[in-house]
Amino acid sequence: MSIDKIITEWKKGVFKPVYWLEGDEEYFIDQAVNYAETSILNESEASFNLTVFYGKDATWPEVVNACRRYPMFAERQVVIIKEAQQMRDIEKLEPYIDNPLSSTIFIVSYKDKKVDGRTKFAKLIKEKGVLVTTKKMYDNQVPEWTQELLETKGLSISPRGLALFVDHIGNDLTRIENEINKISINLGKRKTITEEDIEEFVGVSKDFNVFELQSAIAHRDFAKALRIIQYFEANPKAAPIQLVLPSLYSFFSKVFMVFGAGTTDEKGVAAAIGVNPFFVKDYMQAAKIYNFQGVERILLLLHQYNLKSIGINSAATEDGSLLKEMLYKMTA
């Protein structure tokens, strides 16, 4: 069961006695916990029937005693453990999970960890309640997810603006939503997010960013690429090398895939390499400019300079100098 399905069931008044929410993606876990904390009970019910523990401070007897209480002036009560991965002796909750109270909704937020699915404890959670394991979203899934999130908020953005936004933030879903909310507040009645809005409210230059750098390299525009790198050098927080290299590697990996797409049709290539058709021309142009051997060489260079950026085969060279040296070799 997914987090979305759990929340949908809660909205319909369908509840299980135990929910164990675990895994790498905090955003989805927080979604469920926030809903449980603010929306399952109304304000007057929550005064008597909402109990929130924090794993670092909670003890298993306190949690069990809270779960075994009967609700007051309400049909049910909600008991939540946040940051449960920090709770000592959490496995001692097993007897309660084996025999939970039907009037208690017990929610465990167990971030960045997973219970061993082979254990009796995990099997018990699945038998008596719901166990959901969240996973970090892959980078190539983030643009579509962000687009859907924007639509739910009644906002729109151009493909280029979306790429600029996601490229800068990465797959931090919580930050993506926070930045969208911040932009939305500043838009007023306007519903379309522009590149200028992203520059002003998110703090990424629309002219000097990783997205523009990869485009300049893709078109073998050495002068433009050098200007962008010089901007990064003067503004280290704008695009650290640890962000630049993976982004370029991802781009040229897809350029490499163009050669095996089996078609020269733009829509066909976009589908084959998994990119937005709006941007497929950049990938096809790069494949044409650099050819198969050239793209293969660029990927090897990116690997070499990734090693140099962490001090392997490099004598403490500044990040800006590494990027300039790499750019020269790429576009020579």
Check: CB of residue 239 under 8 Å from CB of residue 232.
Answer: yes
Which helix H or strand E contains 148, and what residues bound it?
Answer: helix 142-152
pLDDT of 259-292, one tens digit each?
A: 999 898 999 999 999 888 888 999 999 999 999 9
Which residue type, as a one-letter code, is found at position 149? L
Four-way CATH pick for 210-331: 1.20.272.10, 1.20.1440.130, 1.10.3720.10, 3.30.930.10: 1.20.272.10
Residue in this structure with the two tokens 């369908």, named with its chain if needed: 14
Domain ranges of the chain: 3-134, 139-201, 210-331
pLDDT of 163-197, one tens digit each?
A: 889 988 888 999 999 999 999 999 988 999 999 99
pTM: 0.78
The CATH number of the structural domain formed by 3-134 is 3.40.50.300
- Residue 139 has a pLDDT of 82
Below-50 pLDDT ranges, the chain: none
The CATH number of the structural domain formed by 139-201 is 1.10.8.60
Torsion of the alpha carbons at 79, 84, 86 and 90, rounded to the nearest 10: 80
